[in-house]
Copies of this chain bind each other. A is one copy, B any other.
Amino acid sequence: MERLDLPPDVVIRRLPLYARSLRYLQDEGIQFISSHGLGTRINVTAAQIRKDLSYFGEFGKQGIGYNVNKLLAHIEHILGLSKEWLMVLAGVGHLGQAIVRYEGFGSRGVRLVGIFDNDPAKVGQVIEDLPILPDEDLARVIHELGVKIAVVAVPASHAQSIVDTMVAAGIRAILNYAPVVLRVPDGICVRYIDPITALHSMTYYLAQEEDKRRSQTP
């Protein structure tokens, strides 16, 4: 029985973790897994997994667990990964180059079809079979190919203006590496990849630990 309420974003964010873990199980040749077994691999309780999946239907059988292949196919379908989404990248500095070369991005569901930089010295260079195009071509490529996903790896000062261009041309989902919060219209999905912010939220806990240790030392 399918639930009628919409899954919250936090559930949608966990589904790719389930899918990745199921892919690893597939690679190991494992055919069935319990919700408990799947949970221990991703630090989620069995109850949480069952609750998350209940938004999308009934999976798994009492005593047998989940069929790895079937559950993976189902989750990939839910995540829209049974088709291929085209993606562009803006900003081909050190970070952008690492992104282009990162095999993960060539994986399922997503394909990088255009890379862009505003540095004339970089335009025309080829990375992993993709020629670097000038920013002026960005809107045209997005529009002509029907690209929906963009990766932003430009400097912070340049990010908002290039995102405005992208959204006007038809981009609906943005993976943002620039260290700045973007303003986008309703309905545009943005995810932030922000290692410095992540680091600076961990130093809080390190400082707390040091304070505690110091106050305990006589």
Binding site for B on A (CB under 8 A): 9, 12-13, 15-17, 19-21, 24, 41-43, 78-81, 83, 85, 87, 94-95, 97-99, 101-102, 104-105, 107, 109-110, 148-149, 151, 156, 172-173, 175, 179-181, 183, 187, 189, 191, 193, 195-210
Contact = CB atoms under 8 A, between A and B. Distances in A.
B203 A80 contact: yes
A16 B200 contact: yes
Contacts of A97: 94, 98
Contacts of A109: 199-200, 203
A169 B20 CA distance: 29
A34 B194 CA distance: 25
A65 B81 CA distance: 47
A198 B187 CA distance: 16
A95 B102 contact: yes
B179 A81 contact: no
Nearest 7 Cβ contacts at the A-B interface: A80-B207, A98-B98, A16-B200, A191-B198, A173-B202, A80-B203, A16-B197
Given A183-B43, A193-B195, A110 B203 contact: yes
B17 A203 contact: no
Contacts of A181: 17, 21, 41-43
A128 to B, nearest CB: 11
B191 A79 contact: no
